[in-house]
Structures are given as C-alpha cells and as structure tokens.
Amino acid sequence: NAGVTQTPKFQVLKTGQSMTLQCAQDMNHNSMYWYRQDPGMGLRLIYYSASEGTTDKGEVPNGYNVSRLNKREFSLRLESAAPSQTSVYFCASSLWTGQGQPQHFGDGTRLSIL
C-alpha cells in the first residue's frame, strides 16, 4: 500500500515547455487534488476532482489543466511553462463520505522553470 505516488520527484523545464505531472493513489479514494506550495507559504489548490469523471477549478487554476484518467490517477499538465510556475506540487486524495475527511499527500514534485 504505497498511498499517493507522484512522478517525477524533480524536474527542470525551460520557459514555454510543456509537461505532465502524474499522480496515483491506491487507497480507493474518490476525491483527488493538486496543490502548489511556494516558499514560506501554505498550500493553494489548483484543481480537484470530486469523483471519477469530474474536475473543478481551485484557487489558482490559470496555466494548468488536469485529467482524471480513472479512479486511481489524476494528472496535472502545464501547457506552456512560465517561471511563475516554479513551485513544489503536491497531489492529495481523500475519501468523501458526506463530511470532511483528511487528505493524504504524495511526496511532491519539485519543479523549476528557467
């Protein structure tokens, strides 16, 4: 039981390049989330998926797209990377039962845009 697995762990991109961050969970959770964390700041929600087949914008969605591939996998895509997207990206999942539940986080992807 690996929990939430993110790949890659580190990535360096040039401005304008594209890439996809991968996330998979093996806890049979229905909800999945993508956050970014900038130095000295909290976690800001980019997108989330309440259940398979649905996605919704969070607080900072501009410049990103997501795909909920199946119940296990939720990917985040940067179509044209910008230096402002340099950050640590965390994927999380939770089991929604009608009331608040803890979110379980992956180890993060450290992304630098040059």
Q: Which residues bind another protein (CB under 8 A)?
A: 31, 33, 40-45, 48, 50, 56, 58-59, 90, 94, 96, 99-108
Closest approach, Cβ 36 to another protein, in A, equals 11
Q: How far is CA 30 from the centre of its chain?
A: 15
| C-beta closer to another protein: residue 19 or 50 | 50
Tracing tokens 């939770």 back to the chain, one arrives at 94
Burial class (CB within 10 angstroms; exposed 0-12, middle 13-18, buried 19+) of 60 = middle
Nearest approach, Cβ of residue 6 and another protein (Å): 9
* Closer residue to another protein in complex, CB, 19/43: 43
Minimum gap (Å) between residue 43 Cβ and another protein: 4
Nearer to another protein, 14 or 41 (CB): 41
What's the min distance (Å) between Cβ of 59 and another protein? Answer: 8
* Alpha-carbon gap, residue 40 to 65, rounded angstroms: 25
